[in-house]
A and B are shown apart, each in its own frame.
Chain A
């Protein structure tokens, strides 16, 4: 046994011994000495506590195990670079003492075909860098193989000698010409360019050639690599977006939003469409008024720098939500629309179709990036990172606000900021003057805290291109810092770099959204520098889609797309989720999974066995058919029974609705027919079964004497959004079924909350999002219910429903509240 291991073993043994006090050999056991008693107890407490500490310290913990969870890296066990700098000497000591061979191990390199491929890729990247440094980045289409790429690159560089501008001069559209010229010879050496398309959809150009292969289908946001290291990414809506941080943070998110700190999201996936007219705003007003039922064109939005958020309509149907910003400047007349990526392409095509000839439609999906921040420290964090070029006092004062409700919704400000990388460390503004805060808010509302120059620059391609001019690289900035430290003064080490006269200024636009988040819009290639510095501010946390969903639930707001089943993407997301659940359920062995078709839920005569509808989804189709069939049944109940045929079926094979049970069976018939229809032709998708409010196109006169339900002729069911909160105990899960409280049992449900059987005919809605809500301490949920029943209950002031989770048998009383769209 070597002395090292023996020494360690002895140390470990010693650490595990708990010292005890020596007993006095002549102890007196007759005397009750309180003093002695207390002293010995005190000693024991100390020793036990010491023992705990010692054993922890001397047990085999490596230095990286003592780091907090967020700083631990998997490869830290054998890669020194993954451990913070201050722990590296200790790490080296541990590695040499335990296993000296790890440090001296050389990384193996690949051989054969792999090596050849890597070498070729290396050559390609070198050539690409050469092209980029000359200001002419490559425009390589993705999806072609490496050999082709190399050939293209070489020919491209050869052509760099000859100007290819001649081709661009042939373009008609002057906007397109300008942009293409810019893209061919950039004004900076970082490769930042403006990727705006004119009157057509933009093509994504990945920033790094090395990763372009992975971005064929799903594009990366500017901060992708940063997020990929710290969050689980998910591929959605054409983008690779952070779903949630790697660490569990349900309670932390709630705390950060409500009490302290702030949360930031990179929302560059939200696309911007800019409608441009050279002279006047009127054609734009006309167009946008059409789309928003004249809501977004009210004077207060056109003048006072106020952002509009709301529903977009097309042919009297709502299709989605959008933010609209108006720009009414002397040189520039624009309307800026921001939509969710799921709607973007269809919406863009719609705009192209509807807009008149003299209106240009710019696709700025990949040229304008944004991020959202919320929480008490949101403005402080933004102020710490975004320093105005001209020391704007208003901005300084604004950044001292910690109350989220101080700044009115929809207010927006715009200004130039310095390159955030000048800062050594983000430091918040110290605003000591206790001025009247209301004055500032009034000034913001009136649009006085507004730099029209930066507003114009941000939303025009010329302005964005100008903002990239001479954009310094990190190397340049470090060189500058070296100069001012070495030549001028060592005290300059931690200071902010001064701005050079030919450095670009970044135009930004900050606005407050309806959900209380601050949204900052920046040019695409400025997003990453601002984000990096923002994340260095200690009070800032990052979030993913799930965090947004959680915070929306806590504030009783529906989340797009999950809580909007009446829109295509909401319905689709529920459908996809259902498929995932079903797959998981099917993987389980039959003996260990819940058999939904045998559940005894509605324990009354005439009720069918099993779960209502598809147990993996919120089955809106079931609800739609059920409500329709019930109506048909009701209409025909008063018909003369002798007019019914003896059999239960019509000549065409439709079921006659004579009793309540017939209604249930009829719904199942329709479901069976639906599945046959879907299986027959893969392209045919069922239309969305529900719509938002509106009128129910139920024509009682059309019903035959013999009441039947024909599959194709079932009208869409109008629904409304509601939020529910459970009364008493119980939990709410997704896809929970909502029932109307039966009127004959009303009192007993409210008072005793005893379980009484409820008929399936009372089904009125589903919950689309439901979980524990830390803001209220109870389970809450957001869902939709039938509009008709909703109106009825509101009129009678009965704000209760019954809720039953999928696969469960107990009904629970819940209180509901309407949510406006």
Chain B
């Protein structure tokens, strides 16, 4: 019985901004915008397959794309996990990186982690999220209250942004 081996790719969808004079935390929040609800796991897969076909041809598109599957995709955090066969995972990664537009939006897909099990991808995602949370905590004092409850009003960045623009 042959064991079909896969790779799980954890990726982020980033929205490149052209406004400078951003602090680190602001840049983080800006780049990791939430995706529109038109984008769902199926559209991502379609985009991947198209990219494979365009960049690598029919043969590779068949090998890598036919058994690819989105295991997880969250619109709010623009994070997702794709499963692809192990032998052609490099093509899948490349194809993902070469996707330029999604539903009209200019995007950048960043490969965060590749691993053999979904559990390690999940674990890594959790770790990364916690790191970004702590990073934001450093820059914003009252954020802890926000996360753990509290009735304080937190100043959002809307006002700053308006100033720059």
Smallest CB separation, B64 vs chain A (Å) = 22
- B151 in the interface (beta carbon within 8 A): no
- B141 in the interface (beta carbon within 8 A): no
Are A23 and B37 interface neighbours, CB within 8 A?
yes
A24 to B125, CA, bound (A): 23
Are A32 and B74 interface neighbours, CB within 8 A?
no
Number of residues on chain B facing chain A (CB within 8 A): 38
Which residues of chain A come closer than 8 Å to B30, judged between CB atoms? 32
For window 114-130 of B, CB contacts with A under 8 Å fall at 119, 122-123, 125-126, 129-130
Which residues of chain B come closer than 8 Å to A35, judged between CB atoms? 146, 154, 156
Which residues of chain B come closer than 8 Å to A33, judged between CB atoms? 29, 156-158
Interface centre among A42, A48, A51, A52 (most CB of B within 10 A): A48
A51 to B130, CA, bound (A): 17
Which residues of chain A come closer than 8 Å to B75, judged between CB atoms? 20-21, 23
Are B37 and A27 interface neighbours, CB within 8 A?
yes
A36 to B78, CA, bound (A): 13
Smallest CB separation, A395 vs chain B (Å) = 52
- B4 in the interface (beta carbon within 8 A): no
For window 1-60 of A, CB contacts with B under 8 Å fall at 18, 20-21, 23-25, 27, 29-45, 48-49, 51-52, 55
For window 182-220 of A, CB contacts with B under 8 Å fall at none
A41 to B28, CA, bound (A): 12
For window 48-76 of B, CB contacts with A under 8 Å fall at 71-76
A499 to B158, CA, bound (A): 83
Which residues of chain B come closer than 8 Å to A30, judged between CB atoms? 161
Which residues of chain A come closer than 8 Å to B29, judged between CB atoms? 32-34, 37
For window 98-138 of B, CB contacts with A under 8 Å fall at 119, 122-123, 125-126, 129-130, 132-133, 136
Q: Kindly supply a per-residue 1/0 record for chain A positions 707-742, scoring 1 wherever the CB is within 8 Å of any chain B CB and 0 otherwise.
A: 000000000000000000000000000000000000
A32 to B36, CA, bound (A): 15
- B143 in the interface (beta carbon within 8 A): yes
For window 18-36 of B, CB contacts with A under 8 Å fall at 25-26, 29-30, 32-36
Q: A29-B33, A34-B136 are in contact. Are A20 and B73 (CB under 8 A)?
A: yes
A48 to B158, CA, bound (A): 30
Are A44 and B143 interface neighbours, CB within 8 A?
no
Are B136 and A45 interface neighbours, CB within 8 A?
no
Interface centre among A24, A42, A55 (most CB of B within 10 A): A42
Which residues of chain B come closer than 8 Å to A45, judged between CB atoms? 125-126, 129-130
Smallest CB separation, A653 vs chain B (Å) = 66
Which residues of chain B come closer than 8 Å to A36, judged between CB atoms? 34, 76
Which residues of chain B come closer than 8 Å to A49, judged between CB atoms? 122, 126
Q: A21-B75, A23-B35, A48-B126 are in contact. Are A34 and B158 (CB under 8 A)?
A: no
Residue in B25, B71, B76, B122 whose beta carbon sits within 8 Å of that of A23 in the complex: B76
Interface centre among B76, B119, B132 (most CB of A within 10 A): B76
Interface centre among A21, A23, A34, A43 (most CB of B within 10 A): A34
Q: A18-B72, A25-B37, A38-B133 are in contact. Are A52 and B157 (CB under 8 A)?
A: no
Are A41 and B132 interface neighbours, CB within 8 A?
yes
Q: Assuming A34-B156, A38-B146, what are 18 further A-B pairs, CB within 8 angstroms? A: A21-B74, A21-B77, A23-B76, A24-B37, A27-B37, A29-B36, A31-B157, A31-B158, A31-B161, A32-B26, A32-B161, A34-B25, A34-B140, A44-B76, A44-B77, A45-B125, A48-B123, A52-B122
Q: Can you list 26 contacts pairing A with B, beta carbon distance less than 8 Å? A: A20-B75, A21-B74, A24-B37, A29-B33, A29-B34, A30-B161, A31-B161, A32-B29, A32-B161, A34-B136, A34-B143, A34-B154, A37-B29, A38-B133, A38-B143, A40-B77, A41-B133, A42-B129, A42-B147, A44-B76, A44-B77, A44-B125, A45-B126, A45-B129, A45-B130, A48-B126
Residues of A participating in the B interface, judged by any CB pair closer than 8 Å: 18, 20-21, 23-25, 27, 29-45, 48-49, 51-52, 55
Query: Top 8 nearest A-B pairs by Cβ distance?
Result: A40-B76, A23-B75, A23-B37, A20-B74, A48-B122, A32-B157, A18-B72, A21-B76
